[in-house]
Amino acid sequence: MKQDTHVTTPQGFNVLPTSNHLQIPSSIILCLPFTKLKPLFSLAQSRVLIPPTAANQAQSGILAISIGKLIISPFPHHLGVLKAFNYLIVLFNQPAMGGSRTRHTDYFFKLPDFSASKKMVGAVERSHNNVLSNGSLHHSNGAEERLDELRRILSKSDGDLLKIVSVGAGAWGSVFAALLQDAYGHLRDKVQIRIWRRPGRSVDRATAEHLFEVINSREDVLRRLIRRCAYLKYVEARLGDRILYADEILKDGFCLNMIETPLCPLKVVTNLQEAVWDADIVVNGLPSTETREVFEEISRYWKERISVPIIISLAKGIEAALDPIPHIITPTQMIKSATRVPMDNILYLGGPNIASEIYNKEYANARICGAEKWRKPLAKFLRQPHFIVWDNSDLITHEVMGGLKNVYAIGAGMVAALTNESATSKSVYFAHCTSEMIFITHLLAEQPEKLAGPLLSDTYVTLLKGRNAWYGQMLAKGELSPDMGDSIKGKGMIQGVSAIGAFYELLSQSSLNVFHPEVKTPIAPAELCPILKTLYKILIRRESPAQAILQALRDETMNDPRERIEIAQSQVFYRPSLLGQP
């Protein structure tokens, strides 16, 4: 094909010779009307191509727009705009000189390196050879053998699907479902993996714009959406011409609380009865504050059920009950009370995990706690090369510790913001908060030293990157206030807030008094936890500003962290009644 040398090259582009061997992936064409092309000019990484000979054919002089790896054109028939690798090919009909006949002219423009196939930091390369039609990855690392073993234990016959559903679509619940989908989703004749979330939650314009930027920064996600004919709705949402819904985007792999980490496509169900009525394994991905209500509804759908489901709870939070004696209520206990499922079939999975990092295959570990019958086979089933799952029998205590670390993470965020990230101040806070947590574990466990590793590691990662620490920072900076509640847009439920109220009110009960060796009198355990007490005043009673957390650290009457631990170790502190045990 002969190159037209008289055509002016658009600024920033080079005219290249044509090649008969260039492969053109037509799947990346998207045609939009001119009215929707104009607003796209302002997008980052966009270019407008206007060959002079075609200007009189294109309204407003718009021929095509390149956004990242996608070319958008208003001409679906006589003009095609395609892209192959880093080349743009413009094809249009041009009137021949001195006659009415037309001849076909091709222009090949080399694109500047303005897109560079950018990927998000921490993104995982996913081989196209391993991606199946449902968007999951085919693994050959023994997944089918592990699935077959679990099916055998559950007495699943051939042709009878193992049905797993995650209830709740927060960050961790969505990632957990996506991990299972990636690992086992290709075995569609043996397992069904779904996720339930409430319908009707709309995505605001700002979030839709940010979501569009995320999509166009990830070539793998962009190609997947185009292949699934799902990209256009995100363009329309970006332009304000369409409202997206949380359950709708979750099907494409976008969790509303974590849109910067695209997941694999998920099978989403918005009808709770449809999701759970015959599920073999139900994953509780709800906040602790919503667990009781949703599982009470689930129990109505299980009245006629013969087989007993397995429930894995991911929730980290507690409630406090003061009658007849002060005690803690955990999410697994809420589930048991609501559904009458025996405790042997309810497990807790927890660990020092940040959801987005786990999906991006950062090395992580967790513990699944509960009865031996289920925890050992489930630990094996959930284990992946980058996600190591151990098993443990101490369910309730691990669950309580998962809620306790959220309390002190909020304070850590406040200290970080108020001291301009002072390493010294943060370390002082860490010393005091860990001593308070160790003190509290002596009340909750007969052998508290066994909890030190899980508690401290979970606390550490939450202080580094958890949403509760982020919440504390935003409070201290004045960007959020306690009056705004604990459900935050883009982050979900801040479970540490309710946990502060529960732990403080529980540990303030006189029936739990401990002997203080210095004042020689019994006092409530909460009086030996000044950080917990201060957080309660800031967030629950709302009578102190965030700056009060620093005043608590500087209080000369505050015990040396070592002394607080010595007080706990010098007495028989253990109160089994706190965990509902005789």
Tell me, yes or no, if 405 is annotated catalytic.
yes
Distance CA(426)–CA(182), nearest Å, equals 38
Distance CA(73)–CA(60), nearest Å, equals 13
CA 495 to chain centre: 15
Beta bridge partners of residue 245, listed in sequence order: 202
H/E/C letters for each residue in 110-165? ECCCCCCCCCCCCCCCCCHHHECCCCCECCCCCHHHHHHHHHHHCCCCCCCCEEEE
Distance CA(219)–CA(223), nearest Å, equals 6
**What residue type is 20 in one-letter code?**
N
**What residue type is 201 in one-letter code?**
R
Distance CA(219)–CA(450), nearest Å, equals 46
Candidate list 233, 405, 491, 533, residue with the active-site label: 405
Tally of CB atoms within 10 A around 564: 19
**Beta strand pairing call for 268-269 and 244-245:** unpaired
CA 224 to chain centre: 20
Distance CA(368)–CA(167), nearest Å, equals 18
**Coil/strand/helix, residue 84:** strand
> Are 109 and 87 a contacting pair, CB within 8 Å?
yes
For tokens 């803690």, name the residue: 328
Q: Minimal CA–CA distance to 193: which of 382, 388, 4, 467?
A: 382
The b/e string for 445-462 (b: 16+ C-beta within 10 A; e otherwise) is beebeebeebbbebbbbb
Beta bridge partners of residue 166, listed in sequence order: 195, 283
Instruction: List residues with catalytic annotation.
Output: 405
